[in-house]
Structure 1
Amino acid sequence: MLSSENTHQSINSTETKLNRFLVCGLGSLGQHCVVVLKEYGATVSAIDLVQPKNWDVSNLENLLDDLFIGDCRQANILEQAHIRQCRTVLLVTSDERVNIEAAFAARLLNPQARLVVRSEKQNLNQLLSENLGNFIAFEPNQLTASAFTFAALGNENLGYFNLAGRKLRVAKHQVQPNDLWCNKWQVHQLNTSFRRILSHASNSSELPNQFYEWEPETVLRSGDAIVYIEIADLFPLTQRAATKTKSETRRFWQKIFLGMSWNHLKQKLTQLWQSGDGDRFVRVAMICGITVIFLSFWGTILYRWHYPGINIAEAFYATAVLLLGGYGDVFGGVEFEQQMPGWLRLFSLGLTLAGTAFVGVLYALLTDKLLSSRFQFFFTSSRISIPQQDHVVVIGLNRVGRQVAKLLLELKQPLVGITSTAVEPNFSLQLPVIVDNFTNALASANLTDAKSVVVITDDEMENLEIGLMAHSQAPNSGLVIRTYNRQFSDKVAQLFAYAQVLCTSALSAEVFAAAAFGENILGLFHLNNQTIQVVEYMVEDGDTLNGLMLYDIAYGYGAVPILYQKTSQSPAKLMPAYETRLAVGDRMIVLATSNSLQRIERGELSPRNWYVQVEKALTSDAIFDGANEISIISGCSIGTARDLMRNLPGQLPQPLYKQQAQRLVFKLNKLRAIAHLLPVDSCTENISHPSVN
């Protein structure tokens, strides 16, 4: 049996091991990873091949607990860095091969350590994860592409995620005077089983930096801003917001029927016929198609008229056979019961000749189109018309730029790409591309009517220059600038407040650091100059989530639970009720800032500062139902709740978070039990100084 002294040493050793992290590679990403890990309160060592001369992050040497110079693939260097006592090793050098080799060396020395690797080889990463265990890999460009994409969509659309087979959307909306709930509804009334309010700010204030910093009973006014997450295909807020008059409804149905009308079809055909030279294929196909349909119609009518004994279908099939070159099939060696007139036989021959000609032309055109499409993408993409308005201009079609363009196309967002170099032969995205120097290209991109401009080249100084040029030409368009240095980013963001400045290294570092603690990062987006991460948790025995209610996750840690699943066999619940209590084996997905993730890791819950005082129950049912609500919302035992409701007036013995307490008061008042909130400080004063009452 261990002595108390040995036990204490063992505990300290365990805590040190759980809190020691090793960063291999002190490039821009590695330095930012060190900063975020230190914010978590971790002990951080680092290995780099040479002593860095210029630090992207000031004072980084003082943040590091140890710095070792050498090759991180070498076992002796890893041993010097105390690899066996590390909880996680982050391998983030700029050389992918070095990262993989170092991961092998680290796994041999420490089979339990978590490995977080910078690598873009998705298939290899998956195989290594299956074979090495406790292994996860990210590619910074892929991580940040979604953040740039959502920033480009503007304030209305901040992020999209697919969870449990449903698409979730994070959006910002400014309350309009004609919104159904303007000047009528309170903020908390927008919370439903398919929507959660994340932030609210009045017309005269800015959105808060943390979630839940809003008063539930505030009445929504024109000009207020709200940020929310919702199931995108279930009653989107912006579609339900506007008041629909009878005339609007009538116009809606007129639009539906117009879409099926002959006039609308004729208009579409006219547009196709009058299109440019690039659509000669469509014109010829239209002529051939219309001719074949015309002949089919008249052939069916004539055969049905001359042979009343056959039905319409048989007459049509006979005509179709003739049009497909089947004259010999119909007339070769066939004796007709009724003599066919010569003019009808001649007409049948004409059908075969015309059908052979026109159908042959259609086959030839289709074959030519299929063959040429494989080799003509560059010329085809250059002929795609540039959108006239409400489009996104992506400047720089490098790896990140192509990924951003791909995501925008998936979201059906019109866009145009600009590059100063020739497009690669394997470029397969169907979007208009302007190949020119950036100064000339901006003039051709309909910039003044663009939704936003994303400047994402590999040179951050060039990004700044192009971004300022774009803003001078289109001051009303959104501007997103890509940078690599956090200090540079902060300065640019302060000086040019109209731009969203996203630092690739800083964005990626937050994901790498969160993954270092075992979190599964599903996505990220940018809100109020902060990175919001979509994080998946699996509740384990002994972690800081076990036994907590979702109220604690929301108001105690400042995260937003958006999915809860009891077991892998149970159905996943989107926008779960906060009364849910977590247990071992539960799965939860939250929206969280880096600060929230750090608090979850350390188990630092915010204090509960409010009591609920119940004065009286107006009905006997209120006593019974009120006790049930108290137990459900506060999490106390049903016995405690019943004792409180049987001995009114009384105070719930355990304090609650403010919005949790407000919800309980709202429910009790609805049940005709009079209740109100009391701050913890006032209750303490009353206990310490009873004479005050």
Structure 2
Amino acid sequence: MGDLFIVVGGNALANRLTVELTRQYGVRTAAIVPPQETPYTVQITKVLGAENTVVDARVSEEALRRAGIGQAQAIAFVDGDDRTNIHAAMRAAALRPGIRVVIRMFNQRLGAHIAQLVDNCTVLSASATAAPAFVNAALQRPHSVSAGGRALRVAVGQDIDMRQTPFLIADAIDRDRQSDIEVLPVAAARSRTQEWMLLQERSPRHAALQFLDASDAIVAGNLYKASPTARLLWRASDTLKYFTSAKLRTILIAAVVTLLVSFAGIWLLARPFAWALYETSLDVAGSAVPDVYGQHSAVGGDLQRLFQVAITLSGIVLMPVVTAVFVESTATRRNVRTRQPSTGLRGHVVVVGLGNAGTRVTALFRELGVPVVGIERDPEARGIAAARGLDVPAVVGDRPIEDALRRAQIGRARAVVAVTGDDVTNLEAALEARAINPEVRVVVRLFDDDFASHVYKEFGNTASRSVSYLAAPAFAAAMMGREVLGTLSVYRKVLLIAEVVVETGSESAGRAQRDLDEPGLTRVLAVKRAGSTAFDWSGADRSRVLQEGDRLILAATRAGFGSLAGRVS
């Protein structure tokens, strides 16, 4: 098998993955990019050089050969739709039998079948990998990764629980200078006693890795409790919205208000209620009998005449509107329309952008029982059908973001998550949401690190995440034949949690556990001896010798995970 790694795609993930392979793993890399020039394809060409970048729209056999498929050890398809990636992957596997294939797919059920169909294939979803980080950031709860029967999370400063046995994993924490944050610092290589004494200060500059406690469980559901009368009014308002468009609602409400005021006027003219209702009903139907000029009035004088005229005119408007509502609700099959946000919605999360990432985030909120509303400009976006299937209300259509946010009841929302594919659009949504509701929690998807640093510096109660940054390590690891259990964020820094086996003949076999602890690179969290049934998380004996078959739970930076392959395999 060769030593070349090929990345197919021209999007943000392809860009991140190229950087991951060349800078963190130091392997020879080539890319196949689409002919449409984007900032990502320009950056890929800059990193790899024009000689290692092939431009092709269809990922043809010729393009694969030019990229060096004959010498490739692994190839990743991270662009295009699921169908395109499947066809290209099967083409590559036929040209290079035994090559390790990594496919990005949104449909995970189909992906499980494809992984069995294509030899030596791994199927991953970038949006599924990143979605939990966005959800946890919005709900301000710790993001966790399951490893060795435990759930690990990151705690910073006063949130560090000293009743547990935490591991120091970051120092120099400063949200305004995130590039200076030191992940897996030198202090993490000290003895457990020294590290424990350091963490006892619980300085805001320290972050620790510890087990997720039950007290960190999410408080789900709608936090606002409304009165029965309010709920009844909101239900009536929602029903009216469901069956009518905005223009029809305006006309209908005006006609009904006029009718009710006029009915009250007739009733107050010393008429019995039943008689007033009788006269009003006939007048609405256009059956009013006018007085004859010069004869004695059959009604209650000039005031009642005025009310009857108003009722008759409003009836002329009301009856066609009712007919239009009936026709519209049946002929246009409104049962397949996306449900509109309820007037009484409170304590919910607004997700801006229902693409791949937005769909995953919305579904995860729904699973957790958190009320959620989607906003999407494109009525054909993937998430629109998903919103209907999940019975999630959504604001759909090309309208100003401020109007869309107001329709989504942002003024009473707990958080807004902006996950479109454009940094500027996401930032605009966040700023508009903050202008309407200064207390709302903001989570924005940003690709550019400098952009994200400025956002952290200028705005409080804000978090930034990048789908490609969170997903790229998992794709790179899969190309190397390894599996990342999950990623944990220390602001914009990423810590990988992985389970590896000390293989026969590896560099680590016969060496002390502490020899795998390298500041800034790797940290052994737990060890399960060959033949044992449980992991030892105490970390007390870092001098014990590792043996072939031992399983390790490791925390690693991106660079550390790249250097790990040669030491345990």
TM superposition score category, shorter chain reference: 0.5 to 0.7
Greater C-alpha radius of gyration:
1
Q: Is the Cα–Cα contact under 8 Å of residues 533 and 591 in structure 1 kept in the other structure?
A: yes
Matched-pair identity in %: 25
Mapped to 1, the partners of 2:12 and 2:175 lie a distance apart of: 38
Q: Is the Cα–Cα contact under 8 Å of residues 353 and 419 in structure 2 kept in the other structure?
A: yes
Counterpart position of 1:490: 450
Q: Deviations over 1:233-267 (max 9, x none)?
A: 46879xxxxxxxxxxxxxxxxxxxxxxxxxxxxxx
Mapped to 1, the partners of 2:10 and 2:117 lie a distance apart of: 27
Counterpart position of 1:196: 167
Counterpart position of 1:595: 559
Determine if the alignment matches structure 1 residue 44 to structure 2 residue 29.
yes
Deviation of residue 447 (structure 1)?
5.0
Provide the secondary structure at the position in 1 that maps to 2:388: coil
Mapped to 2, the partners of 1:548 and 1:556 lie a distance apart of: 18
Counterpart position of 1:61: 46
Q: Is the Cα–Cα contact under 8 Å of residues 156 and 204 in structure 2 kept in the other structure?
A: no
Q: 1:205 to 1:22 in 2, by over 3 A?
A: closer
TM-score (norm 1): 0.54
Q: 1:430 to 1:54 in 2, by over 3 A?
A: closer
Mapped to 1, the partners of 2:509 and 2:119 lie a distance apart of: 24
Q: Which amino acid aligns with 1:231?
A: F
Counterpart position of 2:198: 218
Determine if the alignment matches structure 1 residue 161 to structure 2 residue 125.
no
Superposition pairs of residues 657-676 of structure 1, within 5 angstroms:
none
Q: 1:430 to 1:525 in 2, by over 3 A?
A: farther
Which of 212, 232, 247 aligns to 1:276? It is 232
Superposition pairs of residues 472-621 of structure 1, within 5 angstroms:
472-475=435-438, 477-483=440-446, 486=447, 488-494=448-454, 497=457, 498=459, 499-555=462-518, 558-567=521-530, 570-573=533-536, 577=540, 579=542, 581-601=545-565, 603=567
Counterpart position of 1:386: 345
Superposition pairs of residues 154-553 of structure 1, within 5 angstroms:
154=140, 157-174=141-158, 192=165, 195-200=166-171, 208-214=181-187, 216=195, 217-218=197-198, 220-221=200-201, 224=204, 226-233=206-213, 276=232, 382-383=341-342, 385-388=344-347, 392-411=349-368, 413=370, 415-419=372-376, 424=385, 427-429=388-390, 438-443=401-406, 452-475=415-438, 477-483=440-446, 486=447, 488-494=448-454, 497=457, 498=459, 499-553=462-516
Mapped to 2, the partners of 1:234 and 1:425 lie a distance apart of: 31
Deviation of residue 38 (structure 1)?
0.9
Mapped to 2, the partners of 1:271 and 1:477 lie a distance apart of: 24
Q: Deviations over 1:538-567 (max 9, x none)?
A: 332344544444433334563344454335
Deviation of residue 153 (structure 1)?
3.0
Q: 1:572 to 1:45 in 2, by over 3 A?
A: same
Deviation of residue 532 (structure 1)?
2.6
Q: Is the Cα–Cα contact under 8 Å of residues 135 and 364 in structure 2 kept in the other structure?
A: yes
Which of 19, 24, 49 aligns to 1:35? It is 19
Mapped to 2, the partners of 1:74 and 1:521 lie a distance apart of: 31
Deviation of residue 90 (structure 1)?
1.6
Mapped to 2, the partners of 1:544 and 1:129 lie a distance apart of: 31
Q: Deviations over 1:100-128 (max 9, x none)?
A: 22322332333332111122332343234
Q: Is the Cα–Cα contact under 8 Å of residues 143 and 508 in structure 1 kept in the other structure?
A: yes
Mapped to 2, the partners of 1:99 and 1:379 lie a distance apart of: 30
Deviation of residue 227 (structure 1)?
2.8
Q: Deviations over 1:127-169 (max 9, x none)?
A: 3433444211122222221232233233xx3412334555443
Unaligned runs of 5+ in 1: 1-13, 182-188, 238-267, 281-374, 605-693
Mapped to 2, the partners of 1:29 and 1:526 lie a distance apart of: 18
Mapped to 2, the partners of 1:79 and 1:164 lie a distance apart of: 42
Q: 1:127 to 1:425 in 2, by over 3 A?
A: closer
Mapped to 2, the partners of 1:396 and 1:43 lie a distance apart of: 36
Counterpart position of 1:142: 128
Which of 67, 84, 87 aligns to 2:73? It is 87
Q: Is the Cα–Cα contact under 8 Å of residues 341 and 408 in structure 2 kept in the other structure?
A: no
TM-score (norm 2): 0.64
Mapped to 2, the partners of 1:494 and 1:204 lie a distance apart of: 10
Deviation of residue 597 (structure 1)?
1.2
Q: 1:559 to 1:54 in 2, by over 3 A?
A: closer
Q: Which has the higher contact order (CA 8 A, sep 6+)?
A: 2
Q: Is the Cα–Cα contact under 8 Å of residues 349 and 373 in structure 2 kept in the other structure?
A: yes
Unaligned runs of 5+ in 2: 188-193, 218-224, 237-333
Deviation of residue 463 (structure 1)?
1.5
Provide the secondary structure at the position in 2 that maps to 1:526: strand
Q: Deviations over 1:410-465 (max 9, x none)?
A: 44556554455775486344666566853134346675775543111344332121
Q: Deviations over 1:546-598 (max 9, x none)?
A: 44444333345633444543358723455665635433333333332212212
Which of 94, 98, 103 aligns to 1:112? It is 98
Counterpart position of 1:121: 107
Counterpart position of 1:287: none
